[in-house]
Structure 1
Amino acid sequence: MKTSRRTFLLTSLGAASSFALSRQALAAPSTVTAAAPVKIAENDPVALALGYAPDATTVDKKKYVKYAAGQDCGNCSFYQGKTTEPWAHCPMFGNKLVASKAWCNAYSKRT
């Protein structure tokens, strides 16, 4: 089968442009980076809704009657770090970090 000059040129240009684009994609540095975890702020809307206190010893016991001495995020079942870690993720606050010595109204004793 005979190939026309036009078919040859179009095929060659298509292959060359595909090759150039693939080389460019390999050479380009990745611009996607993971966001650094953010510590929850005391005035964050979720923190306010859950009664988050960065220091469990300062919880208003009249407002949050559920609070008992010794409760803090470090010994809560939602705390996703070791009890010795000062900050860790908590699913109640999304992708934000909570302090180990903090407390919120979603507290649930770790078993």
Structure 2
Amino acid sequence: MTTSRRHFLMLSAGMGSALVLARAAYAEAGNTLNEADPKAQALGYREDASKVDKAKFPSYAAGQTCGTCSLFQGKATDAYGGCTLFGDKQVAARGWCSSYTNM
């Protein structure tokens, strides 16, 4: 069986698209930081900044989220992105931790 160049290119494009989608799904689901993680607990990480215990973390101010933190490595439109504090784990853009900085 011979494969034409056109058939090969179509298969390559299909496989490339599948890999891109799989990578995005992995970043969204499998690699997110869990609030139960010991490092997350030590820094008071919350996936939703509106649920921060303001008595325990008086440095929290309304409007502070991971998405506006200078340590956040995602784009402004990303729901999750990297953080220099948590290695390969993805943090929620709407989240917060006590290391928030906006410098």
Structure 1 length normalisation: TM-score?
0.65
1:75-105 C-alpha deviation (Å, 9 max, x unpaired): 0000001121000000111110000000000
User: What amino acid is aligned across from residue 32 of structure 2 in structure 1?
Assistant: K
Q: Which residues of 2 match residues 57-72 of structure 1 at below 5 A? A: 57-72=50-65
1:8-53 C-alpha deviation (Å, 9 max, x unpaired): xxxxxxxxxxxxxxxxxxxxxxxxxxxx551001100110000000
User: Which of structures 1 and 2 has the bigger CA Rg?
Assistant: 1
Q: When the two structures are aligned, how many residues end up with a matched partner?
A: 76
Question: Percent same amino acid among aligned pairs?
Answer: 48
Measured in 2, the distance between the counterparts of 1:49 and 1:83 equals: 26
Note if 1:90 corresponds to 2:83. Answer: yes
Match of 2:66 in 1: 73
Structure 2 length normalisation: TM-score?
0.70
Instruction: Provide runs of 4+ in structure 1 moved above 2 Å.
Output: none
RMSD, aligned CA:
1.5
Measured in 2, the distance between the counterparts of 1:94 and 1:48 equals: 15
Uncovered stretches (5+) of structure 1, i.e. residues with no partner? 1-35
Alpha-carbon distance, 1:62 to partner:
0.5
SS at match of 1:43: coil
